[in-house]
Amino acid sequence: MAGRGPQPKDPSKRARRNKDPEPLKVLPAVPVTQPRLPTIYVDVTDDDGTVHKKRFHWPAITERWWRMWAESPLSTDYTDVDWAFLMDTALLHARYWKGDVRLGPELRLRVAKFGATPEDRARLRITFAVADSAEAGGTVEVAEPAATSGSRSRARSKVLRVVD
């Protein structure tokens, strides 16, 4: 007959715990509207070596990218700090589209912090709800992120009911 095995390890000494070691700190935040892209002057060197200021022109694709962030449902909670970080990212975006492809990795990392792609939103545990049926008083389908091995049961969609 087999024995009972070793005594279980003390839970306080386990390497992995399924709860956060520190409680989440919730701070009040005041969302703000998106600011305009700033007027920027950059140093330009002439053929003779003279340096002077020239107005930076935002590429049309960067202006469209900036408007996209304003229209995103994610931006409703952005604070001044968030918009300032995205404004710095807009300059990287503009320089990338003007030909400085070395900025690509940094640009990708910065927009990932804000949930730019479905993969980024899945990592941040963000999902979009379809609002049309919610306004009609129906149910809302919430799509879960794509299933990975071992998470197929969680990948089923959930149904939320709108409550007044």
Prediction pTM value? 0.66
User: Mean pLDDT for the chain?
Assistant: 84
d(CA 75, CA 83): 9
Query: Whose CA is closest to 28, among 66, 74, 77, 69?
Result: 77
DSSP string, 8-63: PPPGGG-S--SS-SSPPP-------PPPPPPP-EEEEE-TTS-EEEEEPPPPHHHH
With 70 as the cut, is the pLDDT of residue 101 above it? yes
pLDDT for 2: 66
Residue range 141-161: mean pLDDT, rounded: 56
pLDDT digits (tens, 9 = 90+) for 8-36: 788 777 777 666 567 778 899 999 999 99
160 membership: H or E segment, kind and range: strand 158-161
| Cβ 35 vs Cβ 83: under 8 Å | yes
For the ranges 14-28, 68-82, 126-140, the maximum mean pLDDT occurs at 68-82
pLDDT for 107: 98
Q: pLDDT class for 7, splitting at 50, 70, 90? A: confident
With a pLDDT cut of 70, the percent of the chain lying above it is: 74
